[in-house]
């Protein structure tokens, strides 16, 4: 249990840490994603820091090795001279018991010393006679050499087959910590063997190495900063025109077709700016030409629709007269009168839809919003389409709230949208029920129309709102639609600031969802009803 509690505590603190880290690093991450110049400069600084750091470390380390090697060569050369001098001086004493040998060793050390005894950084010379009890070790100064001359080094110098040995040691002399290069060598005399230790301070070499490291570090830091500045300047030269091009492209996409980039010089960026300006000019000409063609097309559609109204009214009067007298005609003529009446109805509906589309295209469509209860509208649409549903064997099922659903909408346009949706659902239901569901929340109201017919293929949920598009053009019409109903419906939804969406799956039917804001002008965020029906996997009989 304590382990589990500890793990839970660690996980909790870890989540808190991650949350705070994410919150406080968000501006940096956002700047990293948005700024190409920042990324280039940062990568340049990191790469140059690694390169300069590695090179500087190599230079400093190599320089320190050279300084140490030079000090070793000088110390070894001096040691050789001093060993030869000591051997000659000690050859005057034929035996170790000579009472003057001890004083001779002290005089020899003083003779070998070539520094200032008062300087704690001077070299230290010591002679030891490990095999002679009557002789004690002597040094040029009263310095404790136990930290400098280790037992391992003494054995390496004085043992059988001993020779020259070296090591680097650090000792505290007169309160100052000094690093020494210690050399030891045996000295063969007439009475036996003694050891000569030559301890050279490495103070100057350490100072030179530290100075070199500081110089390399300062130079490397200055070089990295310089590279960062150069990278920033170079990137700025490239990024600035790109940013200008991006801002110009944004203005062009916003409809400001006269925006152009400034062309300076004859380099690649100037060629880019000139090519961008040429592209913008071509786009402007094409857009203006297409807008003019679209305007002429809308005007043609509107004019034709209006001009057809007058002859259509005359033909309608004549057709109504013939249709009213059809019982007195022979069966073939009576059938022709019925067909004429039906096609005139479709033609008049097509003209009405064309006029409505032309008003949307021209931007003249206006929303006459008022506070309206949507429940009666849905019931009225279902009632008007009940005859058609009964003829094709479809049941319209209403799922409506028990309380009024009030929204600020244009009732005429909402009823037209529902009439199109329910009519299309009945036409495609294939004798299966059609469900109409109404729901609302504080911000939006949604109406779904669900059928269980042939459904929609993948991708067709976006095509159904195109003008004159049909999922199956070969299928016999039941409602005599014009192919513009859903196009007008989606424009009506957009005029309200709402959504009209479709879902469908082959063999599972389709569902359309109309979502409108409760208050006119509000922005929709979510819909009270799902677009994909919950019963999509339920078999409907």
**What pLDDT was estimated at residue 185?**
86
List Cβ neighbours of 102 (8 Å cut-off, separation of 6 or more): 134, 135, 136, 138
Looking at the predicted structure, is the pLDDT value of residue 467 above 60? yes
Mean pLDDT (the chain) is 79
For the ranges 285-294, 341-350, 357-366, the maximum mean pLDDT occurs at: 285-294
| CATH match of 366-517 with 3.30.565.10 | yes
**What pLDDT was estimated at residue 476?**
44
**What pLDDT was estimated at residue 406?**
93
Contact between residue 87 and residue 189 where contact means Cβ atoms under 8 Å apart: yes
pLDDT band for position 274 (cuts 50, 70, 90): confident
List Cβ neighbours of 92 (8 Å cut-off, separation of 6 or more): 104
Looking at the predicted structure, is the pLDDT value of residue 541 above 50? no
Contact between residue 504 and residue 513 where contact means Cβ atoms under 8 Å apart: no
Q: Which fold has domain 86-209?
A: Beta-Lactamase (3.30.450)
- Residue 336 CA to residue 439 CA, distance in Å, equals 46
**What pLDDT was estimated at residue 282?**
84
3-state secondary structure (DSSP) of residue 278:
helix
Top-confidence residue, 45 or 418 = 418
**DSSP string covering 393-411:** T--EEEE--SS--EEEE-H
Looking at the predicted structure, is the pLDDT value of residue 105 above 70? yes
- Token pair of 66 as six digits: 């050279």
pLDDT band for position 366 (cuts 50, 70, 90): confident
- Report the pLDDT averaged over residues 497-521: 90
**What pLDDT was estimated at residue 401?**
92
Top-confidence residue, 96 or 414 = 414
pLDDT in tens, 42-69: 888 888 888 888 888 888 888 888 888 8
Closest by CA position to 427, among listed 389, 468, 472: 389
- Residue 88 CA to residue 239 CA, distance in Å, equals 80
What sign has the CA pseudo-torsion 162, 167, 170, 176?
positive
- Token pair of 110 as six digits: 């003083």
Contact between residue 270 and residue 240 where contact means Cβ atoms under 8 Å apart: no
Torsion of CA 107, 113, 116, 118, to 10 degrees: -60
- Residue 84: exposure state from Cβ atoms within 10 A (0-12, 13-18, ≥19): exposed
**What pLDDT was estimated at residue 540?**
39
Pairing outcome for strands 509-517 and 444-451:
antiparallel
Other beta carbons within 10 angstroms of residue 511's beta carbon come to 29
What sign has the CA pseudo-torsion 327, 330, 332, 337?
negative
DSSP state of 328: G
pLDDT in tens, 439-451: 999 899 999 999 9
For the ranges 82-91, 172-181, 522-531, the maximum mean pLDDT occurs at: 522-531
Looking at the predicted structure, is the pLDDT value of residue 413 above 80? yes
- Residue 495 CA to residue 362 CA, distance in Å, equals 13
For the ranges 125-139, 193-207, 526-540, the maximum mean pLDDT occurs at: 193-207
pLDDT band for position 130 (cuts 50, 70, 90): low
Other beta carbons within 10 angstroms of residue 83's beta carbon come to 19
**What pLDDT was estimated at residue 1?**
53
- Report the pLDDT averaged over residues 377-401: 90
- Report the pLDDT averaged over residues 347-370: 72
Looking at the predicted structure, is the pLDDT value of residue 480 above 60? no
pLDDT band for position 529 (cuts 50, 70, 90): very high
Contact between residue 140 and residue 125 where contact means Cβ atoms under 8 Å apart: yes
| CATH match of 269-360 with 3.30.70.260 | no
CA distances from 7 to 15, 18, 120, 457 (A): 12, 16, 59, 51
**What pLDDT was estimated at residue 396?**
92
Looking at the predicted structure, is the pLDDT value of residue 454 above 70? yes
Among the listed ranges 163-177, 269-283, 296-310, which one has the minimum average pLDDT value?
296-310
- Residue 456 CA to residue 277 CA, distance in Å, equals 44
CA distances from 190 to 91, 92, 154 (A): 6, 8, 21
Scanning the structure block, which residue is given the tokens 């190495």? 209
pLDDT band for position 400 (cuts 50, 70, 90): very high
Contact between residue 443 and residue 522 where contact means Cβ atoms under 8 Å apart: yes
Pairing outcome for strands 396-399 and 434-440:
parallel
pLDDT in tens, 297-315: 667 666 666 666 677 677 7
- Residue 353 CA to residue 347 CA, distance in Å, equals 10
- Residue 32 CA to residue 539 CA, distance in Å, equals 52
- Residue 487 CA to residue 360 CA, distance in Å, equals 10
- Report the pLDDT averaged over residues 220-231: 86
pLDDT in tens, 190-211: 777 788 888 888 888 888 888 8
Percent of the chain whose pLDDT exceeds 70: 84
**DSSP string covering 438-499:** EEE-SSEEEEEEEE-SS---TTHHHHTTSTT--S-TTSPPSS---S-HHHHHHHHHHHTT-E
**What pLDDT was estimated at residue 240?**
77
Percent of the chain whose pLDDT exceeds 90: 13
**What pLDDT was estimated at residue 434?**
92
């Amino acid at each position: 249990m304590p382990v589990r509690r500890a793990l839970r505590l660690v996980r909790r603190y870890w989540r808190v840490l991650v949350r705070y880290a994410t919150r406080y690093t968000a501006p940096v991450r956002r700047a990293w994603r948005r700024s190409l110049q920042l990324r280039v400069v940062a990568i340049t600084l990191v790469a140059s820091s690694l390169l300069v750091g590695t090179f500087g470390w190599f230079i400093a380390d190599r320089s320190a090795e050279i300084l140490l090697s030079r000090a070793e060569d000088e110390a070894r050369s001096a040691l050789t001279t001093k060993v030869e001098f000591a051997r000659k001086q000690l050859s005057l004493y034929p035996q170790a018991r000579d009472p003057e040998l001890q004083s001779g060793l002290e005089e020899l050390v003083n003779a070998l010393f070539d520094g200032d005894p008062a300087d704690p950084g001077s070299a230290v010379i010591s002679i030891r006679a490990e095999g002679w009890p009557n002789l004690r070790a002597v040094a040029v100064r009263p310095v404790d050499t136990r930290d400098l001359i280790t037992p391992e080094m003494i054995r390496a110098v004085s043992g059988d087959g001993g020779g020259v040995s070296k090591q680097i040691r650090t000792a505290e002399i007169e309160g100052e910590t000094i690093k020494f290069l210690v050399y030891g060598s045996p000295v063969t005399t007439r009475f036996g063997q003694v050891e000569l230790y030559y301890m050279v301070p490495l103070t100057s070499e350490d100072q030179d190495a530290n100075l070199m490291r500081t110089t390399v570090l300062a130079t490397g830091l200055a070089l990295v900063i310089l590279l960062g500045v150069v990278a920033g300047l170079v990137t700025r030269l490239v990024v600035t025109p790109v940013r200008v091009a991006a801002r110009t492209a944004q203005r062009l996409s916003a409809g400001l077709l006269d925006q152009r980039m400034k062309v300076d010089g004859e380099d690649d960026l100037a060629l880019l700016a000139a090519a961008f300006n040429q592209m913008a000019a071509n786009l402007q000409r094409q857009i203006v030409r297409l807008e003019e063609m679209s305007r002429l097309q809308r005007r043609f559609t509107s004019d034709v629709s209006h001009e057809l109204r007058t002859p259509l009214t005359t033909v309608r009067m004549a057709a109504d007269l013939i249709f009213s007298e059809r019982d007195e005609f022979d069966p073939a003529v009576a059938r022709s009168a019925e067909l004429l009446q039906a096609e005139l109805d479709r033609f008049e509906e097509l003209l009405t839809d064309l006029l409505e589309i032309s008003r949307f295209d021209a931007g003249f469509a206006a929303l006459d919003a008022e506070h309206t209860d949507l429940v009666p509208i849905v019931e009225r649409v279902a009632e008007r389409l009940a005859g058609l549903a009964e003829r094709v064997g479809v049941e319209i099922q209403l799922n409506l709230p028990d309380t009024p659903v009030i929204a600020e909408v244009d009732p005429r346009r909402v009823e037209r949208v529902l009439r199109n949706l329910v009519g299309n659902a009945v036409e495609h239901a294939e004798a299966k029920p059609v469900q109409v569901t109404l729901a609302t929340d504080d911000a939006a109201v949604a109406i779904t129309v669900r059928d269980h017919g042939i459904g929609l293929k993948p991708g067709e949920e976006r095509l159904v709102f195109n003008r004159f598009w049909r999922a199956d053009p070969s299928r016999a019409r039941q409602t005599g639609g014009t192919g513009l109903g859903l196009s007008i419906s989606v424009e009506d939804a957009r005029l309200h600031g709402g959504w009209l969406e479709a879902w469908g799956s082959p063999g599972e039917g389709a569902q359309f969802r109309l979502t409108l804001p409760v208050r006119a002008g509000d922005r929709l965020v979510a819909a009270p009803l799902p677009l994909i029906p919950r019963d999509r996997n339920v078999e409907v009989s």
